[in-house]
Amino acid sequence: MGEKDSTAKQPHSEESESTPLDSKMNRRTFLKASTISAGVIGLGGIALSTGNSTTVVQNPTENLPATSNSDPFASQTVTLNINGKSYEVSVEPRDMLNNVLRDDLGLIGTKRPCNRGECGGCTVLIDGVAYMSCTYPAYRAAGHSITTVEGYNVPSSTESQILNALQLAWVQEDGGQCSGCQPGQIMSATALLLSNPNPTLDEIKAGMSGNLCRCGNYDGIIASIQLAAQNLQGGSA
């Protein structure tokens, strides 16, 4: 691909021999540091949300808890605001929000179908924007408003109102079949109706494009979103 860098150090150059790696850090420390660096660099370029409002993390170390511990995997306590309630949780920098929601807090409405940012089934809202929770570091969510599919009855919350309307419409229009994808679909639809209360068919398709349904029940999903949008605007059910 690119031209060879003539200034690159050769494997047996004098300089490379004079600064052996093991004089600066042992193997265990090196592996830990490498893992953290790779994770942070990788997250910097990962698209974390679904649909047409894909958001790329610009500052992957935002909210990273300060630590006086030299262990880069040290746990820190952070407060997460989820569906209007505060939860104190202990997280490592590598813990993803999906794991904290499901495994630590028991909020299993949020699914984890692929666990690698490909299906949208784990979508939650953070400050009203759809994100895939399986690739969203939990510590980054501290100080922000998190909404999951369980958050349909939070008082005075527009997100909750939309989420409730969508869940009712989902039942009426058979939005789900096996329902493995449905929590993520409903959360992406919530984000869509938050930003666009009266979407056209094409806007619905674009807004939901990051959410896969292996049952292929896309017609039912679209009909559910259209019904919810109609009901939220005072239309007849």
Q: Find the shortest distance in angstroms from Cβ 123 to ligand FES.
A: 8
Q: Does 217 bind ligand FES (CB under 6 A)?
A: yes
Q: Find the shortest distance in angstroms from Cβ 57 to ligand FES.
A: 15
Interface pick for ligand FES out of 39, 72, 84, 113 (rule CB under 6 A): 113
Q: Find the shortest distance in angstroms from Cβ 88 to ligand FES.
A: 25
Q: Does 112 bind ligand FES (CB under 6 A)?
A: yes
Helices (H), the chain: 14-18, 27-44, 97-99, 158-172, 182-195, 201-207, 218-232
How many Å from the N-terminal Cα to the C-terminal Cα in the chain? 59
Is residue 133 within 8 A of residue 108, CB to CB? The reply is no
Please count the residues of the chain. Answer: 237
114/161 with CB nearer ligand FES: 114
Could you give the 3-state DSSP secondary structure of residue 156?
coil
Query: Contacts with ligand FES in 120-179 (CB under 6 A)?
Result: 120-122, 132, 134, 176-179
Q: Find the shortest distance in angstroms from Cβ 141 to ligand FES.
A: 15
- Separation of alpha carbons 138 and 16, rounded Å: 39
Segment lying near ligand FES (by CB under 6 A), choices 72-80, 118-126, 152-160, 225-233: 118-126
82/97 with CB nearer ligand FES: 97
Give how many residues touch ligand FES by CB under 6 A. Answer: 23
Q: Does 9 bind ligand FES (CB under 6 A)?
A: no
Q: Does 36 bind ligand FES (CB under 6 A)?
A: no
Task: To the nearest 10°, report the CA torsion of 70, 72, 75, 77.
Answer: 90
54/76 with CB nearer ligand FES: 54
Residues 52-88, buried b or exposed e (16+ Cβ, 10 A)? Answer: ebeeebeebeeeeeeeeeeebeeebebebbbbbeebe
Query: Contacts with ligand FES in 175-204 (CB under 6 A)?
Result: 176-182
Q: Which tokens belong to 136?
A: 């969203």
Could you give the 3-state DSSP secondary structure of residue 226?
helix
Nearest alpha carbon to residue 82 among 108, 64, 49, 55: 108
49/145 with CB nearer ligand FES: 49
Residues making contact with ligand FES (CB under 6 A)? 112-115, 117-122, 132, 134, 176-182, 213-215, 217
